Amino acid sequence: MTHSVLELASITLAEGSTEADLLAASTHFQTAFLDHQPGFLRRDLVRKGDGSFLDVVLWESRAHADAVMEQAEGSEAVGQYFSHMVFDPEAMEEGVEHCTLLGSYAAKAA
């Protein structure tokens, strides 16, 4: 049985970038790139209590999550989004965690 995978990517803003810059680039990244990736199910961008951010992405499988990294190379939308983050391009997986989704629960309709 293949389980869905939750990808948690920690984000620290690059110097000179604002939350508004990140959000605008995030929206472009979503519509121009991520919406077209096989296995993509859902994504949330959240601000943590310490002021950093977390990109939470739900994938159909770990294989789908891994495959998107290959597709990201050369994408203008990905480059623009990543330009607002502090990270090492040689260690893209650093700060990214993949978790197996065992159960998912939502509020019941009233």
At 24-53, the pLDDT tens digits run 999 999 999 999 999 999 999 999 999 999
Looking at domain 5-100, its CATH class is: alpha beta
Residues of the chain with pLDDT under 50: none
The pLDDT score that the predictor gives to residue 72 is: 87
The pLDDT score that the predictor gives to residue 110 is: 78
Which value, to the nearest 10 degrees, does the dihedral of the CA atoms of residues 8, 98, 85, 77 take? -100
The pLDDT score that the predictor gives to residue 109 is: 86
Q: Per-domain residue ranges for the chain?
A: 5-100
Question: How many angstroms separate the first and last alpha carbons of the chain?
Answer: 32
